[in-house]
């Protein structure tokens, strides 16, 4: 239009042709139509790429050759080619974020803009087309045979000679597992848990619409106990009915430890692809939870939309130490099986944040802001809210075949601080681990904290020579205290929490803490203590638990938790928790197995008792572990 403007002193060129005003307009109209036609025709020629190069930026024009295997139309798509283009681009960015890939508009040295469902990040980059060439990954194949031949012991052991009593006890526990499974199958198959009194299923709201928590949690226990038919029933449900396309609020932690953990383990045990594929698909659905300013994930995620948020009860939108600190083992294996480093990167970043931040007295508080990366409240506990974070530090070291020295150091430093500030001895001589609230001790130990006997024993091996025996003794003392919490109850099952105040020792002092929901932590410690010391008292204590479970928790249609461990006429809570099959029965069973069944040389149990293999082959795909 600028060219057609009349220049001062010069006649306009339509005027020079001697045309009148209406004719001038007609002429201009004709001329602009002609130009548009010629320009458009360039793109209709058989080989238009030469001309495109003249008019389009070089990289976009080179689409056919520079963007291998992507659909040609999308590759050569000019910016804003159609009204649908921005939407398609936004979808691509969202998909990239879901897969954890950097958005295409991230330039080298520029700040990474993460797609953040729920935080408005997705739309921010829609103007800049993803013109950078996409990287093609060679298809990754995990070498199952190689992994399997790297195991030092047959998964189910060699089955040497054993005492008939040990065998009989093990078979009794197997019978309990079959009873728990059969009733779940009969009354609640496909639901998350069995309600054994009302004989129906429970779904709950912890798994964001996922179903079959008991099935996925039980798979490896069924396999290990050689309940072949039951294992096939569980497997075929996973193949045919396990739907991952769900919407709803899921706990990132629970989905990871039960579902991802259960699926990973079953893949490693069986080599059946379906378990690996489901684990990877589910793992990817968890990734948007990490899209926070610090990379510390939020606790709750919608598996459909990828929106994530913090628990309403967690102070000031914080994330929970035991939740974001209990992803490491599973996520390393997701990388190992997929070849995709993103999973490892996410958890290594959590570690980086934790290493950077100052710890009060060397302790890790339970609440951290995923926005600022600062502690939100100074509550420290080795029980609920903190527990499995410490467990995963030492297990990361073990799972790395003792190469991950950073994890070992973090564990040792944390344990030293815990011992200095939280470990106490009661007047009656019981060692316990108190909780810490801004410097003030709460002389209470939760059932959950009783896993620590096993953990400390497991970690003793790597301690300095002069401390090994000290840690084994500490582990034995804590396990003894937890046993006392069972022995001092009328049912011989332990309460949810027990205290060392008001003249009480190892007993619940509040009505609200007297329940037992089939939790595993005490028998978990018995199992480790047995394997590491072979002191027969641990098998004895485990057998006491079996008898108590049979007497007070077994009902007509399964096992149920009880509301008060101090009364022998039990009031059942009508819930057979999935961890009863995943953990409690598995640890009891292993307590009466030889040491080479799921040998601790080959396997590390995740916090839901799903064994994951030790990295004897030196994980190839790990991203940033030194």
Binding-site residue ranges for Ca(2+): 607
> Which residue number, 173 or 448, has a Cβ lying nearer to ligand DMJ?
448
Q: What string of DSSP letters covers 242-308?
A: ------SEEEHHHIIIIIIHHHHHHHHHH--HHHHHHHHHHHHHHGGGG-SSSSPPPSEEETTT--E
C-alpha span between 256 and 206 (Å, rounded): 12
C-alpha span between 597 and 449 (Å, rounded): 26
* Residues recognised as catalytic: 254, 387, 496, 521
> Which residue number, 52 or 610, has a Cβ lying nearer to ligand DMJ?
610
CB of 59 to ligand DMJ, least distance (A): 49
> Which residue number, 295 or 520, has a Cβ lying nearer to ligand DMJ?
520
Binding mask 325-354 for ligand DMJ (x = CB under 6 A): ------------------------------
607 touches ligand DMJ by CB under 6 A:
yes
> Which residue number, 130 or 561, has a Cβ lying nearer to ligand DMJ?
561
602 touches ligand DMJ by CB under 6 A:
no
Angle between helices 387-399 and 452-460 (to 10 degrees): 30
520 touches ligand DMJ by CB under 6 A:
yes
Q: What string of DSSP letters covers 39-61?
A: HHHHHHSSS-HHHHHHHS-HHHH
> Which residue number, 265 or 294, has a Cβ lying nearer to ligand DMJ?
265
Binding mask 430-449 for ligand DMJ (x = CB under 6 A): ------------------x-
CB of 69 to ligand DMJ, least distance (A): 42
Per-residue tokens: 422: 């939280």
> Which residue number, 388 or 452, has a Cβ lying nearer to ligand DMJ?
388
103 touches ligand DMJ by CB under 6 A:
no
Phi then psi dihedrals of residue 431, to 5 deg: -85, 135
459 touches ligand DMJ by CB under 6 A:
no
222 neighbors 174 (Cβ within 8 angstroms) = no
323 touches ligand DMJ by CB under 6 A:
no
Residue from the set 103, 608, 615, 622 that interacts with ligand DMJ by CB under 6 A: 608
C-alpha span between 613 and 147 (Å, rounded): 9
479 touches ligand DMJ by CB under 6 A:
no
Q: Which residue has the tokens 């002429």?
A: 27
Length of the chain: 626
Angle between helices 328-338 and 273-286 (to 10 degrees): 120
C-alpha span between 416 and 474 (Å, rounded): 12
Q: Which residue has the tokens 């692809």?
A: 273
207 touches ligand DMJ by CB under 6 A:
no
Give a three-class secondary structure readout of 471-523. Answer: HHHHHHHHHHHHHHHHHCCCCCCCCCEEECCCCCCCECCCHHHCCECCCCHHH
CB of 388 to ligand DMJ, least distance (A): 5
CB of 201 to ligand DMJ, least distance (A): 19
> Which residue number, 340 or 560, has a Cβ lying nearer to ligand DMJ?
560
Chain residues 380-419 in contact with ligand DMJ, contact rule CB under 6 A: 388
Contacts of 502 (CB under 8 A, 6+ apart): 509
586 touches ligand DMJ by CB under 6 A:
no
217 touches ligand DMJ by CB under 6 A:
no
How many Cα atoms occupy the beta-carbon half-sphere of 74 within 13 Å?
A: 16
Size of interface with ligand DMJ, in residues (CB under 6 A): 8
> Which residue number, 191 or 519, has a Cβ lying nearer to ligand DMJ?
519
Sheet holding 440-442, edge to edge: 379-380, 435-437, 440-442
C-alpha span between 67 and 172 (Å, rounded): 61
> Which residue number, 608 or 615, has a Cβ lying nearer to ligand DMJ?
608
494 touches ligand DMJ by CB under 6 A:
no
CB of 446 to ligand DMJ, least distance (A): 10
CB of 166 to ligand DMJ, least distance (A): 26
Residue from the set 367, 579, 589, 592 that interacts with ligand DMJ by CB under 6 A: 579
CB of 274 to ligand DMJ, least distance (A): 24
The H or E element containing residue 324 is: helix 321-324
CB of 517 to ligand DMJ, least distance (A): 7
Among candidates 510, 517, 519, 512, which has minimal Cα distance to 482?
519
> Which residue number, 448 or 532, has a Cβ lying nearer to ligand DMJ?
448
CB of 190 to ligand DMJ, least distance (A): 20
436 neighbors 379 (Cβ within 8 angstroms) = yes
C-alpha span between 621 and 334 (Å, rounded): 10
CB of 68 to ligand DMJ, least distance (A): 45
In Å, what is the CA distance from 297 to each residue of 235, 249, 309, 370?
31, 14, 9, 7
Residue from the set 191, 519, 531, 539 that interacts with ligand DMJ by CB under 6 A: 519
> Which burial class, exposed, middle or buried, applies to 215 when counting CB atoms under 10 A from its CB (0-12, 13-18, 19+)?
buried
* Nearest residue to ligand DMJ on Cβ basis: 607
251 touches ligand DMJ by CB under 6 A:
no
Q: What string of DSSP letters covers 153-190?
A: S-TB-------HHHHHHHHHHHHHHHHHHHHHHHHHTT
98 neighbors 288 (Cβ within 8 angstroms) = yes
Site for ligand DMJ, rule CB under 6 A: 388, 448, 519-520, 579, 583, 607-608
């Amino acid at each position: 239009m600028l060219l057609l403007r009349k220049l001062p002193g010069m006649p306009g060129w339509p005027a020079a042709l001697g045309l009148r005003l209406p004719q001038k307009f007609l002429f201009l109209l004709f001329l602009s139509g002609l130009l548009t036609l010629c320009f458009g025709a360039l793109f209709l020629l058989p080989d238009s790429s030469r001309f495109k190069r003249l008019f389009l930026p070089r990289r976009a024009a080179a689409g056919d050759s520079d963007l291998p295997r992507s659909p040609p139309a999308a590759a050569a798509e000019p910016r804003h080619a159609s009204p649908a283009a921005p939407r398609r681009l936004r979808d691509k960015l969202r998909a990239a974020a879901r897969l954890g890939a950097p958005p295409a508009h991230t330039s080298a040295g520029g700040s990474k803009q993460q797609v953040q469902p729920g935080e408005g990040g997705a739309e921010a980059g829609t103007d800049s087309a993803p013109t950078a060439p996409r990287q093609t990954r060679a298809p990754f194949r995990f070498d199952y045979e190689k992994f399997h031949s790297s195991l030092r012991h047959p998964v189910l052991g060699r089955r040497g000679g054993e005492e008939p009593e040990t065998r009989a006890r093990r078979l009794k526990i197997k019978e309990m597992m079959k009873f728990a499974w059969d009733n779940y199958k009969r009354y609640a198959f496909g639901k998350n848990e069995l309600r054994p009194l009302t004989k129906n299923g429970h779904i709950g709201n912890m798994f964001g619409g996922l179903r079959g928590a008991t099935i996925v949690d039980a798979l490896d226990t069924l396999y290990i106990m050689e309940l072949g038919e039951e294992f096939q029933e569980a497997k075929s449900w996973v193949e045919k009915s396990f739907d991952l396309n769900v919407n709803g609020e899921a706990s990132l932690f629970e989905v990871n430890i039960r579902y991802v953990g259960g699926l990973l383990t079953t893949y490693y045990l069986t080599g059946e692809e379906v378990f690996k594929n489901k684990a990877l698909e589910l793992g990817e659905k968890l990734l948007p939870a990490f899209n926070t300013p610090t990379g510390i994930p939020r606790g709750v995620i919608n598996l459909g939309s990828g929106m994530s948020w913090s628990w309403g009860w967690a102070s000031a939108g914080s994330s929970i130490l035991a939740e974001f600190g209990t992803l490491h083992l599973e996520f390393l294996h997701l990388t190992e099986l997929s070849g995709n480093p993103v999973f490892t990167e996410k958890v290594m970043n959590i570690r980086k944040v934790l290493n950077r931040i100052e710890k009060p007295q060397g302790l890790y508080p339970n609440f951290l802001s995923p926005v600022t990366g600062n502690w939100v409240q100074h509550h420290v506990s080795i029980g609920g809210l903190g527990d499995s974070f410490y467990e995963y530090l030492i297990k990361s070291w073990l799972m790395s075949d003792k190469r991950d020295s950073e994890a070992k150091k973090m564990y040792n430093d944390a344990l030293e601080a815990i011992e200095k500030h939280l470990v106490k001895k009661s007047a009656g001589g019981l060692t316990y681990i108190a909780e810490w609230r801004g410097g003030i001790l709460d002389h209470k130990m939760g059932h959950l904290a009783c896993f620590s006997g096993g953990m400390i024993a497991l970690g003793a091996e790597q301690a300095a020579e002069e401390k090994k025996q000290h840690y084994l003794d500490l582990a034995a003392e804590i396990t003894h205290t937890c046993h006392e919490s069972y022995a001092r109850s009328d049912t011989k099952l332990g309460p949810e929490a027990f205290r060392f105040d008001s003249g009480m020792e190892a007993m619940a002092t509040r009505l609200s803490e007297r329940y037992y929901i089939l939790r595993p932590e005490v028998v978990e410690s018995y199992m480790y203590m047995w394997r590491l010391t072979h002191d027969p008292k641990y098998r004895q204590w485990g057998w006491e638990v079996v008898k108590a479970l049979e007497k007070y928790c077994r009902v007509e249609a399964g096992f149920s938790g009880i509301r008060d461990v101090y009364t022998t006429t039990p009031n059942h809570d009508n819930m057979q928790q999935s961890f009863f099959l995943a953990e409690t029965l598995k640890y009891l069973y292993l307590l009466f197995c030889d040491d080479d069944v799921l040998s601790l040389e080959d396997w590390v149990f995740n916090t839901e008792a799903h064994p994951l293999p030790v990295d004897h082959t030196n994980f190839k795909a790990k991203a940033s572990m030194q």
